[in-house]
Amino acid sequence: MDKKFLAIGVVAIIIAAAAVAVIMMNSGDKEPEITGLSVVGRVNSEGSGILLAEKEDPAAYITPTDEKPGLGAAYVYNETEKIYYVFNVEQWGGKVFATPGAATIQHVQLMDLAAMMHLKFVSYTEGSALSTDTLYYVAGVPSFAEFQNKEKTAPLAGFIIWEAQYSVGITNGYKPLALTNDLFDGHTCCIIGASNKYLSKDANTLMAFFDVYIKAVDKINVALADTSSEDYKTLIAIAKARVSMPDGMTDDEKMATIVEALYNVTYLYADDSSGSLDNLKADIAELAESLYDAKQINRSAQDLGFSSYDQLAQKFVDDTFMKKALSGQFTPLSAKKTINVAAISGDIHQIALWFAKDTGMFEQANLNIEVFSQNNGPAVYGLLSNGEADIGFLGAPPMTIRCMNAEDIHA
């Protein structure tokens, strides 16, 4: 064949191939949109409690003992304290307790206690008869003030709620039954969730946020160990301004409540100073499986394309950004960046966020933090899910439940 003719043929093929490529590029072929959510940090462990109404007797509900209960007893063992908390099932049966919301960690913990006592766990309907084989709940009560209002229409025996609302109740004459610290030793509480789209687009900004947040958590923990420090005074002042408390409380009552609440919470950013979230991954795996078994989640790990709940948690919990922030593997911001943060309003669990914001720590790092306050964790998830918030501070259960049900975790 003529070489000149062959060359012309090759050029024609190349031009045709390029034309096909252009047509394909113009035919709507785009990179798939990044969706889903991830857990990227811790906020705290522990920090909630069960209150009893004034007419109730705490000793009738739970008996602490250092002796292992006999066969058939309903109890919780606290490894740290070496104490058994024995539950009087007859006292719990037929009682109604309030929770902040059906997907909140406090609600899930009350559900777990009901299961431990072999009691049914059922939503209370006003005016309905109460059965002694059932523990009833009224969900959607996020504050002590609302608990008092709900008492007018429901025969509430108690309330499981986060700090500082638990300590507010004690200040107002209600009776402490137990801290969740006692009944769920070292349990995972609030976490930091983020949109995967945001993580892909603004990872450096998130790491700059974490750099400040870590320093705020460290400052708080040092301040709590040194009550004579200026940071301690600042922490108390910020907590008094930011934590929801009833209007009728005196300044002294608010002060005592804040102090009590702060020491009932363990403030964290990760499992340890390396930034690892391996323990959180194990907690999330166990939580996801138990919530699926309890029918709180309607899609299993396998339904979502994972071989196990451990594999799901490995994908869902990402400690890359926290580790890089701790090791300085990010670029300090030279221009102002805004992060939209969803957080639970009036919650002392998340006080490190407010400490960093109110003391100007974020501003000094060129971060403008817009906080969208929500009533509970499921509401925080809603803002993360619809893109109104870049990151969110919420409980591990609502994040896990909502993400699995909405298929926000991708294999």
> Do residues 310 and 285 make contact, with C-beta atoms less than 8 angstroms apart?
yes
Establish how many alpha carbons lie within 13 A of residue 388's alpha carbon, considering only the half-sphere containing its beta carbon: 12
**Strand, helix or coil for residue 282:** helix
Beta strands in 67-173 (DSSP E): 74-78, 83-87, 96-98, 120-123, 134-138, 156-162
The mean pLDDT value for 22-47 works out to 76
- Alpha carbons 128 and 104: distance in angstroms, whole number: 25
Beta strands in 115-274 (DSSP E): 120-123, 134-138, 156-162, 175-179, 190-195, 266-267
Candidates 183, 163, 181; CA nearest to 171 is 163
Report the Cα 150 to chain-centroid distance in Å.
25
Confidence of residue 31 (pLDDT cuts 50, 70, 90): low
Q: Determine phi and psi for 45, rounding to 5 degrees.
A: -120, 155
Give the domain ranges of the chain: 37-45+189-405, 48-183
Is a pLDDT exceeding 90 seen at residue 167? yes
Residue 200: both structure tokens together: 């892909």
- Between the alpha carbon of residue 391 and those of residues 91, 193, 199, 350, the distances in Å are 42, 6, 9, 13
The string of pLDDT tens digits covering residues 75-114 is 999 999 999 999 999 999 999 999 999 989 999 999 999 9
Of residues 11 and 68, more confidently modeled: 68
Q: Which residue has tokens 């993360």? A: 384
Is a pLDDT exceeding 60 seen at residue 26? no
Is a pLDDT exceeding 50 seen at residue 249? yes
**Strand, helix or coil for residue 246:** coil
**Strand, helix or coil for residue 108:** helix
Q: Determine phi and psi for 192, rounding to 5 degrees.
A: -110, 120
Mean pLDDT of the chain: 92
DSSP bridge partners of 50: 160, 178
Candidates 193, 379, 403; CA nearest to 287 is 403
Q: Indicate the pairing of strand 391-395 with strand 190-195.
A: antiparallel
Q: Just give the CATH number of 48-183.
A: 3.40.190.10
Is a pLDDT exceeding 70 seen at residue 9? no
- Between the alpha carbon of residue 111 and those of residues 20, 99, 184, 361, the distances in Å are 60, 10, 13, 39
What is the pLDDT, as a whole number, of residue 7? Answer: 42
pTM of the model: 0.88
What is the pLDDT, as a whole number, of residue 341? Answer: 98
Count Cβ neighbours within 10 Å for each residue of 264-275 and write b for 16 or more, e otherwise.
bbebbbbbeeeb
The string of pLDDT tens digits covering residues 109-133 is 999 999 999 999 999 999 999 999 9
- Alpha carbons 15 and 18: distance in angstroms, whole number: 5
Residues 6+ apart with CB under 8 A from 397: 103, 104, 105, 107, 108, 287, 291, 296, 377
Strand order, beta sheet including 391-395: 37-42, 190-195, 391-395, 337-344, 367-374
Confidence of residue 29 (pLDDT cuts 50, 70, 90): low
Q: In the chain, pLDDT over 70 holds for what percent of residues? A: 92
Query: Which of 17-26, 148-157, 287-296 bottoms out in mean pLDDT, i.e. has the lowest?
Result: 17-26
The mean pLDDT value for 322-330 works out to 98
